[in-house]
Structure 1
Amino acid sequence: MSTMTYRPAHGGHYGLRQAARMEWIKLRSLRSTAYALLLTVVGMVTMGVVTMANTKPPHGAAKVASFDPTNNVLAGVALGQLIVGVLGVLVVTGEYSTGTIRSTLAAIPDRRMALAAKAAVFGALALVLGEAVTFVTFLAGRRALAADVPHPSLGDPDVLRAILLSGAYLALVGLMGIGVGAITRHTASAIGALVGITFVLPALLSGTTGTVVAKFFPTMIAGNSLAVTVPVDGMLSPWAGFVVLCGYSAALLAVGGRLLVRRDA
C-alpha cells in the first residue's frame, strides 16, 4: 500500500482535498480493490440473470398482484453488500494490520478528517459501482426472462427508484464497514460484526419475532423495502428504509471517528 505526505496548504493547514487524494491513491494501488469490485459485478450480474432465468409466470390473482420481477433481478445485492462491506472494513483495518496507519496519521494528523476522507473516497467509488452494476444487472436479467413472464421496464412505476436505491445501498453498506472498522480496528472482529448485523441477526429475529424488529436491519430493508416495486406488508417504505440506513452509516462513522481520536495509532 503506497502512501504520500503532503506539504501544508496555505496558512499551514492541510485540507480534506489533500486527504481524499491520498486515500484515492492508496485505494486504487491495491490489487484487492480491483478484484473485489470485479467479483461484485460478476457475482451480482450472474445471480440476477440466473434468478430471472428461473422466474416463472404468476398464476392466480394473488400471485399476479404480488409478482415483482424487479425484486428478483436485484437478488444479487445480498452478495454485493457482503463484498463491498468487507472491502469497507479493510479500508480502515488493513492499515492497522500493516502498520501503515502511522504514515497516514503523520500526513493527516486530524483523525476525523482522515476517516472522513476514507469514507468520502470509498463511498463515492461504491456508489458509482453500485449504480452501474444494478443497472447492468437489471438489463441483463430482463433479457433472461422467459417470453411468457411479464418483463419490467425502467418506465414502470417504482422500477427506476428500486434500482437507484439498491445501488445506493451498496455505498451505505460500504460506509457501515468503514465505521465498524474504525470502531474495532481489527479485521476479523469488524467483519464478524458486519456479517452479524447484516445477515445473522435479521435471520434470527425474523424467525422469532417476525418482521417487527427484523425490518429495521439492513438486509431486510434492502430486500423488502428498497428493491421492491410492490409494497411488502409489515416492512418499511422505501424512503423510510433509506433514511434508516443513512442513519446507521452516519452513526457508525461518528462513533468510529470519536474512538479514533481517543486512541493511539
Structure 2
Amino acid sequence: MSTVTRPIVSAAPPRLRVTQARVIHSEWIKFWSLRSTVITLAVAVTLMIGIGLLASSMSGSGAAPAGPGPNPGDLGPVDASLAGLTFAQLAFGTLGVLFMASEYSTGMIRSSLTAVPKRLPLLWGKIAVFAAVALVTGLAASAIAFTGGQALIGDGAASWTDPGVARAVIGSAVILAGSGVLGLALGALLRSTPAAISTLFGVMFLLSGVAQLLLPDSWGDRVVQYLPSDAGGAFTAVSVGDGLGPWAGLAVFLGYVVAVVGGAAWRLRRFDA
C-alpha cells in the first residue's frame, strides 16, 4: 500500500498596507540613521544657546564688541538672549535640505517611491517627522537661551510673564521648525543639495538686504516687511513696530512655507525621480 505525500505549502506572509502612520515610522528611522542629523542638531542648539548667552553677557556688562555690527547693549534683554536665532535657522534649514535632497543624490529616492507608490505620503511623512523634532529641539534651545541669558543680564532682565516674552521664545522655535521645513521643501523641489541650500540662504538672509538696497525708499520698507525673514522676525519680536504685527508676520512666513511645500508636492507627484 503506497502513501501519498502531499507537499507542504507555506502560507505567504500577509502584505502590509502602506499607511501614513507606517510611512512616518519609516521616515523617523531614516531621519535618525543619518550621520548629519545629530551633528547638525547639536550645532543648531549650540549656536542658539551659545550666541544668546554671549550676547546676554555683553548686554549685561555693557561691553561693546569691536568692529561692525549692532552693539548687544542696544538690544533688549529678550532680543539679546535670542540673538542666535538667525544662525540656528541656517542650521535647521540645512538639515531639512539634507533630509530630503540626500535621497536624490544617493538614488535612495527610487526605493522610497517604490515602497510608497502614491508619493505624497512620503513628503508628508518627512515633514511630520522633521517638524516635530525641530519644534521640540528649538523650543528647548530657545527656552534655555532665554532663561540663561536673563540670569546673565541680571538687573533689567525680562520675565516669562512680561508681555510678548512667551510668544517671542515659543515663536523662535516655530520659526526654526518652519525654516527647516522650508529647507526640506526646497530639497524636494530643486532635488539638489547645493542648489537648495544656496536658495534657502539667499531667501532667508540676503533677499531682505538686497531689496533694501535696490528698492526706492518710498515703498521699500512696505515690501521688505513681507519677505520671509522680516515676517518671521515680526512674530518673534517682543514689541510691535510699524510693520507687520506678530500674527500677521507668522501668517506671511507660513504662507511662504506652504507655497514651497505645494511646489515640492506638485513636482514630486508629476515628475519622476
Same fold (TM over 0.5): yes
- The answer to whether the Cα contact below 8 Å between 2:168 and 2:237 also exists between their aligned partners in 1 is yes
| Residue 32 of structure 1 pairs with residue 42 of structure 2 | no
SS in structure 2 at match of 1:75? coil
Aligned counterpart for 2:256 among listed residues 230, 248, 252: 248
Compute the TM-score of the two structures, normalised by the length of structure 1. 0.87
1:211 CA displacement:
2.4
Residue equivalent to 1:16: 20
Amino acid at match of 1:202: S
- The answer to whether the Cα contact below 8 Å between 1:112 and 1:260 also exists between their aligned partners in 2 is yes
- The answer to whether the Cα contact below 8 Å between 1:73 and 1:138 also exists between their aligned partners in 2 is yes
1:232-265 Cα offsets, whole Å, 9 max, x none, are 22x2111111111111111111110111111112
- The answer to whether the Cα contact below 8 Å between 2:60 and 2:152 also exists between their aligned partners in 1 is no
* Greater RCO, 1 or 2 (C-alpha within 8 Å, sep 6+): 1
Aligned counterpart for 2:240 among listed residues 188, 210, 231: 231
| Residue 140 of structure 1 pairs with residue 148 of structure 2 | yes
Residue equivalent to 1:115: 123
Amino acid at match of 1:50: L
Structure 1 unaligned spans of 5+: 1-6, 59-65
Number of residue equivalences: 245
- The answer to whether the Cα contact below 8 Å between 1:112 and 1:257 also exists between their aligned partners in 2 is yes
- The answer to whether the Cα contact below 8 Å between 1:44 and 1:77 also exists between their aligned partners in 2 is yes
1:81-116 Cα offsets, whole Å, 9 max, x none, are 101001111111100001111111111111111111
1:206 CA displacement:
2.4
Compute the TM-score of the two structures, normalised by the length of structure 2. 0.85
Structure 2 unaligned spans of 5+: 1-13, 63-73
Residue equivalent to 2:167: 161
1:56 CA displacement:
5.6
- The answer to whether the Cα contact below 8 Å between 1:44 and 1:80 also exists between their aligned partners in 2 is yes
- The answer to whether the Cα contact below 8 Å between 1:74 and 1:227 also exists between their aligned partners in 2 is no
Aligned counterpart for 1:211 among listed residues 207, 210, 221: 221
Amino acid at match of 1:84: F
1:73 CA displacement:
1.5
Query: Percent same amino acid among aligned pairs?
Result: 36
1:207 CA displacement:
3.2
SS in structure 1 at match of 2:238? coil
Amino acid at match of 1:248: Y
Between the aligned partners of 2:246 and 2:214, the Cα distance in structure 1 is 24
1:8 CA displacement:
4.8
